[in-house]
Every structure is written in structure tokens, then in C-alpha cells.
């Protein structure tokens, strides 16, 4: 099951409700993959502060996905580049799983993928949900 997030985080509630859908799928023990593309990459920009726009900042909850067995979050490289963003603009977190803890080095939360890689991934899914 693949979840595509392609909306900016605070301009509509779709991004937040999309995250809720991912959490529901993870609770069902599904094989869940989460990818961010188009304006969705803005959801992962670090240091977001929504206090001046009166909207609750839900984006820290995205990091919690790592604790739900979702694995790495995929970010489309072309979408980042088109928006003048780079890897260092995104949240710099790691995944702590039992598996990686035993091996030592931790896995970065975010993995950049090319549009072609993401396309191939979509092709291989049973279900694709887009938010």
C-alpha cells in the first residue's frame, strides 16, 4: 500500500488527514510505503512554525511514522529541486528500529528517490492512495 502526499502542509487539511490515513493503515499491519512529491515535500521542511497563522502544526507527527513500522519516508528528488530545496532543508531524523539498533548505525528517516524510481514503485503496489 503506497501513500502519496503531494499537498503543501498548511494550505488545506488534506495533508493532515492524509497522515491520519497512513497511521490507520499502519495500525492494520499493512506493508505501507509513504512518499512525498510535488508541494508535498514542504511537509518535511524542518523548523516549521505555524504560530503566526493560527493553525496547529501537525508536521512533527510525521516523524512518529517511524515508530509505526512505516520505514523510510521517500521524497522525490525532482520535486525538491524544482522548489529550490535540498536534503539539508528537510527534517534530519533517524529511524530507531530493533533491527537497526542491533546493527549499530541508524537509518535516516528520509530517503531521496528519483521520479523514475517512484514511478516503478507505484507500478508494483496493490493500492495507491493520494493526498
Minimum Å gap between C-beta 97 and other proteins is 22
Burial letters 26-56, b for 16+ CB under 10 A, else e = beeeeebbbbbbbbbbbbbbeeeeeeeeeee
Residues that bind other proteins (CB under 8 A): 1, 13-14, 17, 20-21, 23-25, 27-28, 30, 126-127, 129-130
Pick 13 or 120: Cβ nearer other proteins:
13
- Report the nearest approach of other proteins to the CB of residue 33 (Å): 13
Are the beta carbons of 15 and 39 closer than 8 angstroms? Answer: no
Query: Considering the complex, what minimum distance in angstroms separates the CB of residue 90 from other proteins?
Result: 24
Is the distance from CB of 87 to CB of 122 less than 8 angstroms? no
How many Cα atoms occupy the beta-carbon half-sphere of 6 within 13 Å? 12
CB-wise, 13 or 82, nearer to other proteins?
13
**Strand pairing partners for 95?**
107
CB 89 to other proteins: min, Å: 26
Q: Which is closer to other proteins, CB of 18 or CB of 44?
A: 18
Q: Closer to other proteins by CB, 32 or 75: give it.
A: 32
Partners of 78 in the beta sheet? Answer: none
Amino acid at each position: 500500500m503506497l501513500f502519496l502526499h503531494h499537498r503543501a502542509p498548511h494550505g488545506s487539511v488534506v495533508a493532515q488527514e492524509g497522515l491520519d490515513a497512513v497511521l490507520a493503515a499502519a495500525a492494520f499491519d499493512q506493508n505501507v510505503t509513504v512518499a512525498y512529491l510535488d508541494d508535498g515535500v514542504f511537509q518535511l521542511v524542518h523548523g516549521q512554525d505555524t504560530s503566526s497563522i493560527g493553525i496547529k502544526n501537525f508536521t512533527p507527527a510525521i516523524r512518529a511514522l517511524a515508530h509505526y513500522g512505516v520505514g523510510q519516508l521517500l521524497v522525490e528528488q525532482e520535486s525538491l529541486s524544482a522548489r529550490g530545496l535540498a536534503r539539508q532543508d528537510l527534517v534530519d531524523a533517524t529511524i530507531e528500529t530493533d533491527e537497526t539498533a542491533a546493527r549499530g548505525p541508524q537509518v535516516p528517516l528520509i530517503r531521496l528517490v528519483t521520479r523514475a524510481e517512484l514511478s516503478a514503485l507505484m507500478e508494483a503496489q496493490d493500492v495507491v492512495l493520494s493526498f
